[in-house]
Structure 1
């Protein structure tokens, strides 16, 4: 996919999120605590047939409040899953993470560090066949503050 198409798609997803934020049928907004301690934790949310799950292990001082937002266009053809720290910066050290989606086809992701920079391609693995994005052992620099996932709804025949 050309950079222009990718940028347009992500811009559309962002606009979709903002324009649909007040419609209860098309959004699912949730806050949760990211817990340090090195243990694996999983947080999962559904919006109709679309499910997004965030699995992580982190180290650090105390819990952090994070958001978990799901959004869909009016006909369920495009979904977004956004997970992150409201401030855009996290002091936790993530040892690993994984985002998995069900009920839609994974199209693209954007991952950001606590410094607001995009994670490098050596830090994560995007597997469109398995509908996952996950940290790469030895490549991930342990900084994570935001995740945006774009997915296309699965077509069903009548």
Structure 2
């Protein structure tokens, strides 16, 4: 439970540092398609891009959302991919999240039962550690800005 508390504090700190204005935030809807074929969906703000690549099986298309945001000081870029209804009925055989223009500092996936981070960077599942269920994925990266 201590680890969960520390993770919560880290998340809170990151979310506070990611204060964004409406011009620096975007939420878009997309279909997650089953059939075992690899699909890619991406969204960008300025020169920063979030790329979600996946393959899933079962059921029919599901509506998912992707949000991308850039902090007011342009130092942090965030991306979240999630199903608004929560639990997905699709089985993800693979997935990967990448950030272009930012170095990943934090990533986590939420499944219906637990919150865990059995992932590698770029954010992809580790073999044997992922239960094929996904309800939300969050990735936060530091942008590459030179100091004046």
TM-score (norm 2): 0.87
Alignment check: 8 A CA contact 1:70 1:79 kept = yes
Q: Per-residue deviation at 1:45?
A: 0.8
The answer for unaligned runs of 5 or more in structure 2 is: none
Q: Map 1:108-127 onto structure 2 (within 5 A).
A: 108-115=106-113, 117-119=114-116, 121=118, 124-125=119-120, 127=121
Question: What SS does the aligned partner of 1:10 have?
Answer: helix
Distance 2:62 2:123 in 1: 22
Q: Runs of 5+ in structure 1 lacking a partner?
A: none
User: Match for residue 84 of structure 2?
Assistant: 86
Deviation at 1:136, TM superposition (A): 2.1
What is the aligned partner in structure 2 of residue 36 from structure 1? 34
2:14 alignment partner, SS class = helix
Give the one of 70, 73, 79 matched to 1:72: 70
Contact 1:13 1:80 in 2 (8 A): no
Equivalence for 2:125: 135
Q: Structure 1 residues 120 and 151 mapped into 2: Cα distance closer, same or farther (>3 Å)?
A: closer
CA RMSD for the aligned pairs? 2.1
Q: Give the counterpart of 1:102 among 94, 100, 103.
A: 100
User: 1:62 maps to which residue?
Assistant: 60
On the 8 A contact 2:83/2:136 being kept in 1, the answer is yes
Report the Cα distance in structure 2 between the residues aligned to 1:136 and 1:67, rounded to whole angstroms. Answer: 24
Matches of 2:29 and 2:17, distance apart in 1? 20
Provide runs of 4+ in structure 1 moved above 3 Å.
3-9, 12-17
Shift of 1:137: 2.8
